[in-house]
Chains A and B, each alone.
Chain A
Amino acid sequence: MKRLLARHETYIFGIIVVFSIIITAINPNFLTLENAFDILKSNAFTGIMAIGVLFVLISGGIDISFAATATIAEYLTVLICLRVGGSMLFAFFSALVIGIILGAVNGYLIDRFAVPPIITTIATMNLYYGLLIVFSKGRWIYALPQYFRTFADIRVITLYTAEGLPYGLSIVTALWFVLMVLSAGLLFYTRLGRSIYAVGGDAISAKRVGVSVKMVRIFVYAFMGAMASVAGIVQALLVQAVAPNSIVGKELNVIAAVVLGGASLAGGVGTVSGMFLGVMLLAIVQNGMTLMRVPAVWYDVFVGLVILFSVGSSSWKVKKEKVGTFIDIEPLSPPMVQEGGR
């Protein structure tokens, strides 16, 4: 199992390398530190949401509402900050509280009423987003607090171009990396992390060995809400304006990136490093198209092909191996035990 996963990541990594070589051959400006830092900064927002999505997918669920959660956390936090002042730390804290509450509501509803997560989160997405539009009347916020402006410009590493302009590793990229390291640690070295895999692999078996499926589910969706809220603040930092409709609609891109990184929609499978590579692959393809001077009408075609190619070829390999190693036997007794999740 582990070797298989390792193989998927090396696989995605290989595709990234091939793409990078092609793009660089056409436009050498691609393979510069400056471009790399720019990509990492622009995609920190997607990347942070992807961490949450990864957790949800591993647990065997799915969440469509996280973009709405991110928007609400972003919007309310900025409103609160404008009203009562505060600081960047306070902004993150306030967003986290909102995100965790909204996420936990999802988790509770899914577990309590056993509604399929996709329906629950589509419903809560509409509910959250709808309420935001009703109460905000769609108003945009242009005047962010001053510390929002200065914080986004902080660089962890600063370099200078030939013309003497500063560039470097942005604070939001650093934040993304720290969150990834922490989540990887949580997934692999804690009981809770392993329980998430167990629940996603087979909830019934997990329950039998004493995992509290309910707590795991609530945790996973609350964690998703937390990541979404941080991403919301990052988005406000990047764009320097808050619009109630600027994040909603990006859900599928994030989910696609995570699945591209090897997480399974059936649950139980996925790693942080794979997710990172998935996000980067999509980012590089999008970045590369402009750099390779591809006309804009072809963008979507290209992205679609890359997703199909990368996901298709790696799961085809898995399929081949599986067919070679085990035979499926239909259970004769009534299927009270659901057929084994992977």
Chain B
Amino acid sequence: MNRRTKAAVLLMLIALIAAPMVFAQGQKAPAGSPEVVTVVKITGIPWFNRLEEGVKQAQRELGLNAYQIGPADADPAQQVKMVEDLISKKVAAICITPNDATALEPVFKKAREQGILILTHESPDQAGKDVDIELIDNVAFARRTWDMLVEGMGPTGKYAIFVGSLTVPLHNLWADEGIKYAKEKYPGLELVTTRIPCGEDQELSKQKTLELLKTYPDLKGIVGFGSLGPPGAAQALKEKGLAGKVAVVGTVIPGHAAPYLKDGSMTKGILWDPKDAGYALNWVAKYMLEGGKIKDLKEVPGIGSVAVEGDIIMVNAMVDITKENVDSFGF
């Protein structure tokens, strides 16, 4: 009995250790075509599952041997190891969303010395890359969000901002840019309190919205960054019979926001489609492998126009999520 339990435990351990490796292998595509590998921050979360669809689309349409891999948790060391493995495999290009920009610098250098292209995503300040691709222009993204807010609540009145946490760079950058923009363009808007860190927790966002409504009964709008802020706010409004009377805008996952957009408790959402990111990364990789120059790039077909700043390519791919188009995203 005792020996058997031990054996069972050992077997389970082996299975547990082996399982993630099996999952990390990814699928193989026909050989001969250039091998372009996308390394994501973490496998198995909806965001990167969606990104992988773009990679698969690129594999089908662009004739690349394109596939996606990634660590089981957001671990920089594992990403480094994966890139090292890809270098010894002599792939043509590596597209990567870094977990840690500095940790990857040395392997990027090594890869480029061997003629492997390095394309990064969501890491504009990355050193050691060939090119970085961003799907949104952060300033334009923030401005569009505030325009949406004004569409919902009018150009005057009180509003509040939710962010994922006070240390998430993107959320706070958007908030900074939006506040700056509002000062110039919509002087009638009044921010009631500093940004509240609840946007990654729906229950907390709901609580904070209820509290805000009690503290500022004339609140007219909420901007939520972090995909759970707007749904939480919308839920609170519904409970208090205020759906449609207070505007709610911000970043949302379409599938999650659908019921709130449809019943009017959420005004509009804004986002980019990670699938577009997966496709754009591979498209640019192919373009560069065939000798294309970044500075001549004007657009990524099917995704959008392109603005180039040094080695950063910004594809304009932000989309409004409304009750009409919310079901068309498929994620």
Contact = CB atoms under 8 A, between A and B. Distances in A.
A29 B214 contact: yes
Contacts, number: 84
A38 B211 CA distance: 9
Contacts of A137: 44-45, 49
Contacts of A30: 214
30 contacts: A29-B214, A35-B214, A42-B203, A42-B207, A42-B210, A45-B203, A127-B16, A133-B44, A133-B72, A134-B23, A134-B72, A137-B49, A138-B44, A138-B45, A139-B46, A140-B46, A239-B202, A239-B203, A239-B206, A239-B235, A241-B202, A246-B202, A286-B207, A287-B207, A291-B211, A293-B193, A295-B193, A295-B194, A296-B196, A299-B197
B235 to A, nearest CB: 7
A290 B166 contact: no
A121 interface: no
Contacts of B20: 134
Contacts of A189: none
Contacts of A246: 201-203
Interface string A224-235: 000000000001
A293 B158 CA distance: 14
Contacts of A42: 203, 206-207, 210
A165 B194 contact: no
Interface string B3-21: 0000000000000100110
A330 interface: no
A134 B18 CA distance: 12
A326 interface: no
Contacts of B232: 239
Contacts of B256: 140, 142, 241
A134 B201 CA distance: 22
Contact of A134 (B19, B196, B258): B19
Interface in B33-54: 44-46, 49
Contact of A296 (B44, B166, B202, B253): B166
A130 B197 CA distance: 27
Contacts of A165: 240-241
Interface of A: 27, 29-30, 32, 35, 38, 42, 45, 127, 130, 133-134, 137-140, 142, 163, 165, 235, 238-241, 246, 286-287, 290-291, 293, 295-297, 299
Contacts of B208: 290
A29 B255 contact: no
B258 A297 contact: no
Q: Give chain A's interface secondary structure class.
A: helix
Nearest to A290: B211
Interface in B203-218: 203, 206-208, 210-212, 214-215
B278 interface: no
B144 interface: no
B74 to A, nearest CB: 12
A133 B208 CA distance: 29
B214 A296 contact: no
Nearest to A166: B241
B159 to A, nearest CB: 15
Contact of A38 (B16, B210, B259): B210
Nearest to B5: A112
B230 interface: no
Contact of B215 (A134, A138, A238, A291): A291
Interface in B175-200: 193-197
Nearest 9 Cβ contacts at the A-B interface: A290-B211, A138-B45, A295-B194, A29-B214, A165-B241, A296-B196, A137-B44, A239-B202, A42-B207
B231 interface: yes
A296 B197 contact: yes
B195 A296 contact: yes
Given A134-B44, A299-B197, 12 more contacts: A42-B203, A45-B203, A130-B16, A138-B49, A142-B255, A142-B258, A165-B241, A239-B235, A293-B193, A296-B194, A296-B196, A297-B194
A27 B194 contact: no
B175 to A, nearest CB: 11
A291 B19 contact: no
A19 B212 CA distance: 19
A137 B16 CA distance: 15
A138 B42 CA distance: 11
A286 to B, nearest CB: 8
Contacts of B72: 133-134
Contacts of A35: 214
A45 B210 CA distance: 17
B215 A290 contact: yes
A35 B240 CA distance: 12
Interface string B229-267: 001100100001100000000000101101100000000
Interface string B42-81: 0011100100000000000000000000001000000000
Contacts of A293: 193, 215
Q: Name which of A290, A291, A299 has the most chain B CB atoms within 10 A of its CB.
A: A290
A190 to B, nearest CB: 33
